[in-house]
Amino acid sequence: MPKKIILQKIILVASFIFFTGFQMAQAGLVINEIMYDLDGADIDWVEVYNSGEADADLTALKLLISNSTSNHGIVKDSGSEVLHAGDYGVIVVTSQISSFLSRWSNVTNIFTSSFSLPNETAQVEINAGDKNVPIDSVTYNSSQGAVGDGQSLQLIDGSWIASTPTPGSVNVFIANNTDDATDDDDTANGDDNNADGSDGDTDDTSDDNETTNTGTNSARSSTSKSASSKKAPEPAFKAKILANTLAFTGQPHGVQVNISSSSNENVDLGRAFWNFGDGSSLEQKDNFEKLYHTYDYPGDYVVFLEYYQSKFSQTPEATSKIVIKVVPTTVVISKVGDVKDFFVELTNQASFDMDVSNWIINANGKIFILPKNSVIISKKPMTISGKTTGFSYGDQSNLKLFSATGELVFDYSASRSARSGAIARVSTGASSRAVASPEISLPMSEEGISASDLEVLVVESGATKDNSGGSYLPMISSLIFIGASASAVYFLRQKRTLSKPGDDFKILDE
C-alpha cells in the first residue's frame, strides 16, 4: 500500500478519535437553571452543570438562543474556564454582569456572553460550534412559572420547576403553601410572599401588568389579577439568613439570621432553629448573634432556619434557607527561605480565594498570627518575610500552619520527610543494611541547593552532634572516599588503550 494512502488513513483515524473524544468530554454538560424574567430587574443568565466524569472547557462552546441566529461565544469572567465533574458554570449577559454580582456575589465559575432571554418563550442551546448538533437544548415557557417573581426555572428530578435561584449551586425545591417565593431565599409560613406586600417592587410590577399589559401579555396580566385578588395579610415576621455561600472544610463558617417585623423592625426575642444540612442542628433563644458551623466534607448543603415567636409555638412564624457550597481546604507551606533570607511561602491550591485571617504559623515555640483580612488568591502564593514573622533559619524543622480555631492545616517538616524519605541504603561488602539517615536541615527551593548553600550545610552538619554523641564526620569521609575511588577508576580506564598495528614503529626524520 502506498505510503501516502497509509498516512491519509492515520490522519483520518486520529481526527476521528480527537473529535469523538471532544464530543464525549462535552456530553456531560446539562443546562440546569434558567433566569429569564427576574423581578424588577433585567438580569438573564443560564446555569450549566457538568454531570459527566470528564472535564469540559465551557469557553470552547457556543450559546444559541432561538430569538437570534448567532452562535454566541462564551467568555470566562471569574473562576475556572474548565468545569470539572460536578461543577457549575453560570453564563450571564455581558452588559448585566455588574447587576448579577450585586445579587449573587459568591458564585464561583462565572462566564459572559452577548445574548438575551425573552420573557415569553425561547429555546436555549449549547453546542460545539455546529448549531445542528446541540450538546444540550431546553425550551422554556412562561406558563412554567418564574415570571417576574424572583424565581428561576430549575431542573429538579428531571422536571423544570420554578424555585428560589441557586446559581452555581445544587438546585433545591422546598414545598410550601405559597404560590411564589420572595427574593433572597426568604419564605413566610402560610403566606403568599409575592402578593403580600413584602416586596414593594414586585407589587408595583403586578399592578402595572394588571392595568397596562394587553395582547400577547394577556396571560401574564390575568395571572397578576389572580394574585392581586387573593392577597393574604402581610406576615407578622420575616426571616433572612446572612452568610457567605462558599465555605471550606474544617474551617468555621459564620451564619446569622435577621428577624424583622411587618414594620421592618429587628426582632431579638424568640427561638431560631438551625438545620445545617449535614445532620447538625442548633437552637438559639432570645439571642440571634452570629454563630459558626464547621463542615468536615466537601459538598452542597442546604441550611434551613425556622423562627418561633414563643418557646411554646409548634408552627414557625417565618422560615428561610440558603445553599452552602463547601470545598476542600488546600493551603500549604510551599517554600521557605535560606539562612540569608528565611521567608515562609503559603500557597492556596484551591480554585477559590481563601481567607486566612487569624491563622497561626508555629515554629519551635515561636508564633506568628496572620492579621485580619488576610486573603490568598486562588492558585497564588503569599510570601511572608522573616522580618515580619520573627522566624529564622532552622525553624523549618518544626514549621506548622494552623487555622484560626487551632486545627492543624499543614506540617512542613512532615511533608518534607514524605518527599525526601527517611531511609538510606548503605552497601557493606556483599550485604547491605538499612541505616536511618541523620536529619539535616536543607533549604528547600525549586531551583535546588546552590554550591555555597551546600558548603554551609556541610560545615553545620559536621559540627552537629546526634543524641548518641557521635558526629557526621565518618559519613562525610565515606562519601569523599567513594567519590575519590570513582574518579580514580574513571582515570585508569581512560589511560587503557588497545594496541594497534604500527604502534611499535617509530618514524625517524632523515
| Between 367 and 196, residue with greater pLDDT | 367
Strand partners, 399: 363
- 132 and 100 together in one domain: yes
What pLDDT score was predicted for residue 351? 78
For residue 259, is it within any domain?
yes
What pLDDT score was predicted for residue 361? 95
For residue 484, is it within any domain?
yes
Query: Does residue 463 register a pLDDT over 50?
Result: no
3-state secondary structure 115-184: CCCCCCEEEEEEECCCCCCEEEEEEEEHHHCCCCCCCEEEEECCEEEEECCCCCCCCCCCCCCCCCCCHH
pLDDT band at 160 (very low <50, low <70, confident <90, very high): very high
pLDDT tens digits, residue range 100-156?
998 888 898 999 999 999 999 999 999 998 888 899 999 999 999 999 888 999 998
For residue 306, is it within any domain?
yes
Domain limit, last residue, from 147, 173, 199? 173
What pLDDT score was predicted for residue 46? 97
Sort 181 into a burial class: Cβ within 10 Å, 0-12 / 13-18 / 19+.
Answer: buried
Domain total in the chain: 4
pLDDT band at 491 (very low <50, low <70, confident <90, very high): low
Non-local CB neighbours of 250 within 8 Å, separated by 6+ positions: 294, 295, 296, 329, 403, 407, 409
Query: Phi then psi for 341, rounded to 5 degrees?
Result: -145, 95
Lowest-confidence pick of 68-82, 106-120, 392-406, 464-478: 464-478
What pLDDT score was predicted for residue 67? 86
- 43 and 122 together in one domain: yes
Select from 438, 442, 426, 434 the least CA-distant residue to 464.
438
Lowest-confidence pick of 35-49, 70-84, 432-446: 432-446
pLDDT band at 198 (very low <50, low <70, confident <90, very high): very low
Buried b / exposed e over 214-241, threshold 16 CB at 10 Å, is eeebeebbebbbebeeeeeeebebbbbb
pLDDT tens digits, residue range 442-454?
344 433 333 334 3
For range 362-391, the mean pLDDT: 91
- 264 and 348 together in one domain: no
- 150 and 92 together in one domain: yes
- 37 and 54 together in one domain: yes
Strand partners, 93: 113
Distances (CA, A) of 212 to 118, 143, 176, 203, 367: 19, 20, 31, 14, 68
3-state SS class at 54: coil
| Average pLDDT over the chain, rounded to an integer | 74
For range 458-465, the mean pLDDT: 37
Q: What's 243's domain CATH number?
A: 2.60.40.10
Three cell numbers at 333?
A: 507551606
Q: What one-character-per-residue DSSP string does 370-439 give?
A: PPTT-EE-TT-EEEE-HHHH---TTGGGGEEEE-TTS-EEEEHHHHHHHHH-SEEEEEETTEEEEEEPPP
Query: Measured between alpha carbons, how far is 40 from 199 in angstroms, rounded to an integer?
Result: 10
Query: Does residue 192 register a pLDDT over 80?
Result: no
Query: Measured between alpha carbons, how far is 227 from 215 in angstroms, rounded to an integer?
Result: 19
Query: Does residue 92 register a pLDDT over 80?
Result: yes
- 295 and 344 together in one domain: no
What pLDDT score was predicted for residue 20? 47
3-state SS class at 300: strand
Query: Measured between alpha carbons, how far is 112 from 73 in angstroms, rounded to an integer?
Result: 9
pLDDT band at 27 (very low <50, low <70, confident <90, very high): low
For residue 201, is it within any domain?
no
For residue 120, is it within any domain?
yes
For residue 21, is it within any domain?
yes
Domain limit, last residue, from 173, 190, 210? 173
What pLDDT score was predicted for residue 419? 57
- Name the residue range of residue 307's domain: 237-326
Percent of the chain with pLDDT over 70: 64
pLDDT tens digits, residue range 203-247?
333 333 333 333 333 333 333 333 333 444 567 888 888 888 888
Written as one letter, the residue type at 497 is T
Percent of the chain with pLDDT over 90: 31
What pLDDT score was predicted for residue 345? 94
- 31 and 151 together in one domain: yes
For residue 183, is it within any domain?
no
Question: Alpha carbon 333 to chain centroid distance?
Answer: 19
Q: What's 87's domain CATH number?
A: 2.60.40.1260
Query: Measured between alpha carbons, how far is 199 from 1 in angstroms, rounded to an integer?
Result: 77
| Between 350 and 450, residue with greater pLDDT | 350
For range 412-430, the mean pLDDT: 55
- 77 and 33 together in one domain: yes
- 355 and 310 together in one domain: no
3-state SS class at 284: strand
Three cell numbers at 110?
A: 462565572
Select from 270, 268, 237, 273 the least CA-distant residue to 255.
273
For range 400-427, the mean pLDDT: 71
Query: Does residue 201 register a pLDDT over 90?
Result: no
Lowest-confidence pick of 35-39, 341-345, 378-382, 489-493: 489-493
- 321 and 341 together in one domain: no
pTM over 0.75: no
Q: How many residues does the chain have?
A: 510
What pLDDT score was predicted for residue 13? 54
- 254 and 133 together in one domain: no
What pLDDT score was predicted for residue 360? 94
Domain limit, last residue, from 326, 346, 378? 326
For residue 230, is it within any domain?
no
What pLDDT score was predicted for residue 470? 44
3-state SS class at 81: coil
pLDDT band at 407 (very low <50, low <70, confident <90, very high): confident
| Between 509 and 73, residue with greater pLDDT | 73
What pLDDT score was predicted for residue 226? 36
- 319 and 253 together in one domain: yes
